[in-house]
Structure 1
Amino acid sequence: MNILFRYGESHNLTFAFPTIKFHYDYPNFFSTLNVSGFSTEKEQNYNIMCHHMRFHLPEVQKIMPSDTFYFTILRNPVTLMESSFAYYRDSSSFIRARNIETFLSNPNRYYQNMSYDSAFAKNLMTFDLGFNHNGPESEEQFKLLCQSVDAMFDLVLIAEYFDESLVLLKDALCWTLDDVLSIPLNTRSDRSRHVLSAQTEEKIKSWNQLDWQLYMYFKNSFWNRVERFGKERMEKEVEELRRRRAQVSEKCLDNQVEPYQLRDKSMVPYQPFAARILGYNLKPGLRREEQQLCHRLVLPELQYSELLWTKHYKTGEVSP
């Protein structure tokens, strides 16, 4: 999201902002009613739509141009669920479980399948992509799910291979490596992390079987795409991307710290129920031209979204 925010801001592109500012009425399906200022009675040209949503392609297509490039990112369901348990600890399905092992020992005891937030505890990616996270589990269903997602998106990135994903994204969009340069954001402190046993990992895969099948299918197709891109070419571009990241980190960043250690309190990331999200202190004495780049690279999602919303509203591009 930070990459898209920075590209859109630097190129004066128009964002399709949510009426709720930070998400499109999530966890409900996306609707055109969720886009601030949108009307079928006037011509509007949106360039980027990137806030949180439960994807619904027919409604998105009413907003975005016909040549829109659609991409998404998947994450290993094992690490995703460990993270979700910390991030959404107060959700209806998790709140009564002492820890993630307790939940997985008898998930049906805790899982509230009819609650509005049930997807936080099961097949979250399947849900976010617009499918039934409580749907049937069979080879036929797995195949239909993967084929449907494949048909909707031009590119599916893989979080565990983030740098390779950025290179593929850059290539698909005809961008530069500087356009996809990023600093890791929304990172939890070590004390918010939970080490999982091999047995627990297997339980997570079984419980999130739709997500697991989706992830394995697109992990395989991802590496097929890397093969077509060229392995040697990929290695060189990833190496260069990492060199530039190290360079900009050295120039911009003083340290990564707990929220209470941030010198600029306006840079504190959103802190969920049971996780501590780290932030960055910038180096003092940055030159004016460096200050904005460094600031934007580590600006938390909610603050950056608010900044862009205000900027567009003041220029009259977005209705209140």
Structure 2
Amino acid sequence: MLIPKMMIYRRKVSQVMIAVLIVCIVIYVLLPVYLLKKMNNFEMYKLTEERSFYHLYPLLKNNTSISMMSCKEKTNFVFIKCMKCATETLGTVFRRFGYVRNLTFVTPVGKKLYLGWPFQMTKSDYRPSKRPFNIIMEHSIYNKTVMEALMPADTLYITIIREPYSHFKSVFTYFNLKNIAKVSSNDPFTEYLHHIGKYEQIYQRHEASSTRYCIPDNFSMTKNLLSHCIGMSLGFPAGTQNITSDADAVERYIQQIDKDFSLVMIVEYFHESLILFKRIMCWTFKDIIYWNANVANYVKKFDPHSDENVKIYQKWSSVDYKLYDHFNKTLWKRIHAQTPDFFSEVQYFTTVQENVVKFCLKPDLKKLVFNKTVWHEQFEFSTEGCKMLKQKLLEAIQKRHDEQDHNSVPPTRKPGDRYVPLC
């Protein structure tokens, strides 16, 4: 039986369509690889008084980025700043962003550094403003009710956390727990963890308050500190609810944070987190370039990291491990949902960041110029930009706030208020 000509025609059309589909899939998969290879071969050209970077993207150089749709820069956000999680490094980024745009920050009163931390923020902890607030980013405890009342309806909530054992070591070193808790050992991490009840009591008692910078009595800097910062009820201050041993309640709170926050960044994947943040906020590369701040050097001094120490700490700070495990997974789910050029963008940003740092450490030219790529318009970095990069800016922001609001005064605390931040 002869096959009708129409059926033969349809079969050929189907075969062509399948071939086209296969080609499209191959391009979709291989394009990021192509871009990555080009990324590793960009050329640098010295001009008379500037250095310019020309990146070789013959197909995409002048087109819209395949990773970014047109979107409006977001300026209203809350950043929950937990101790020793690269938060001061990010803090300099966020202050710079808001300062150059004359945005309004929720700033601590007087010369204080914290917005109530480690207690809940109250109206007595921040400068009032006649303008709507745009940014909360100094040390505070997340409180949805309080912060939603202060901030615009379109505010995004962001934070960053860290692998708990690494976080413990950084906190232990930066806050001088070894000397304050009187740990006499060449291996203070191991000694502290093996007698943690004893040393926690010494560190938290009132007699040690004169040497504990900004830390109130009876507050643990080693137990579930990350979870405390994002507002989980863990029994501090004394008399408040403690859900530490209630696994279901802990899980419910973590799920709620997952809903409330637009992004929980991870220190161990800092650049991946930054690029994800940039995409969510519709910021630029220049906005997120950073200068490392308050970086400890404990690794070179002592770093046993024994399996036994980690197991002890996992039991001691179990809620923080649950928190970290959850948001480490969600971060990677978010990353895998990004456009195919995500990792190429991360690698490119790393190159930009390294070159800016080198330039700022030893500026042999007046400025550094980054020509337009698929991820950003042309921008430049000058020696003045380097100065701004290194400034913490909190005092400058507070001074500007006072000038604009004519030294408006927050409400005074009630006599006998026990929850007064020390810094």
* TM-score bracket, shorter-length normalisation: 0.7 to 0.9
Residue pair 2:157, 2:262 contacting (<8 A) in 1 also: yes
SS in 2 for 1:119: coil
User: What percentage of residue pairs aligned between the two structures are identical?
Assistant: 24
Which amino acid in 2 is paired with 1:118?
A: F
The yes-or-no answer on 1:215 pairing with 2:324 is yes
When residues 215 and 15 of structure 1 are mapped into structure 2, their CA distance, relative to the original with a 3 A threshold, is same
**Alignment counterpart, residue 233 of structure 1, candidates 300, 321, 341:** 341
Greater RCO, CA 8 A, separation 6+: 2
The yes-or-no answer on 1:197 pairing with 2:298 is no
**Residue 52 of structure 1: CA displacement?**
0.4
TM-score (norm 2): 0.61
- Alignment match, 2:199: 110
The yes-or-no answer on 1:65 pairing with 2:185 is no
Q: Following superposition of structure 1 onto structure 2, how do residues 206-285 of structure 1 map, counting pairs within 5 Å?
A: 206-230=315-339, 232-254=340-362, 283=363
Which amino acid in 1 is paired with 2:118?
A: P
The yes-or-no answer on 1:101 pairing with 2:181 is no
Matched residues in 2 for 1:132 and 1:49: separation? Answer: 21
- Alignment match, 1:291: 383
When residues 141 and 32 of structure 1 are mapped into structure 2, their CA distance, relative to the original with a 3 A threshold, is same
Matched residues in 2 for 1:55 and 1:158: separation? Answer: 18
SS in 1 for 2:183: coil
Consecutive unaligned residues of structure 1, counting only runs of 5 or more, are: 255-282
The yes-or-no answer on 1:2 pairing with 2:121 is no
SS in 1 for 2:137: coil
Residue pair 1:56, 1:130 contacting (<8 A) in 2 also: yes
Q: Following superposition of structure 1 onto structure 2, how do residues 142-161 of structure 1 map, counting pairs within 5 Å?
A: 142-161=250-269
When residues 90 and 197 of structure 1 are mapped into structure 2, their CA distance, relative to the original with a 3 A threshold, is closer
**Residue 136 of structure 1: CA displacement?**
2.8
- Alignment match, 2:231: 130
Greater shift in the superposed pair: 122-131 or 15-24: 15-24
Larger Rg: 2
Q: CA RMSD in A?
A: 2.5
**Residue 27 of structure 1: CA displacement?**
1.3
Residue pair 1:75, 1:158 contacting (<8 A) in 2 also: yes
- Alignment match, 2:121: 30
**Residue 155 of structure 1: CA displacement?**
1.1
Greater shift in the superposed pair: 148-157 or 132-141: 132-141
Consecutive unaligned residues of structure 2, counting only runs of 5 or more, are: 1-90, 206-215, 236-242, 368-380, 410-423
- Alignment match, 1:259: none
SS in 1 for 2:160: strand
**Alignment counterpart, residue 132 of structure 2, candidates 31, 45, 62:** 45
- Alignment match, 1:186: 294
Cα shift readout 1:46-101 (whole Å, capped 9, x = no counterpart): 11110001221211112111111111111111110001111222599x62333221
**Which structure dedicates a bigger proportion of its chain to helix?**
1
Matched residues in 2 for 1:155 and 1:74: separation? Answer: 11
**Residue 8 of structure 1: CA displacement?**
0.5
- Alignment match, 2:283: 175
Matched residues in 1 for 2:244 and 2:394: separation? Answer: 37
- Alignment match, 1:312: 401
SS in 2 for 1:169: helix
TM-score (norm 1): 0.80
Residue pair 1:73, 1:158 contacting (<8 A) in 2 also: yes
- Alignment match, 1:268: none
SS in 2 for 1:51: coil
Matched residues in 1 for 2:400 and 2:365: separation? Answer: 26
SS in 1 for 2:310: helix
When residues 37 and 161 of structure 1 are mapped into structure 2, their CA distance, relative to the original with a 3 A threshold, is same
Greater shift in the superposed pair: 181-190 or 110-119: 110-119
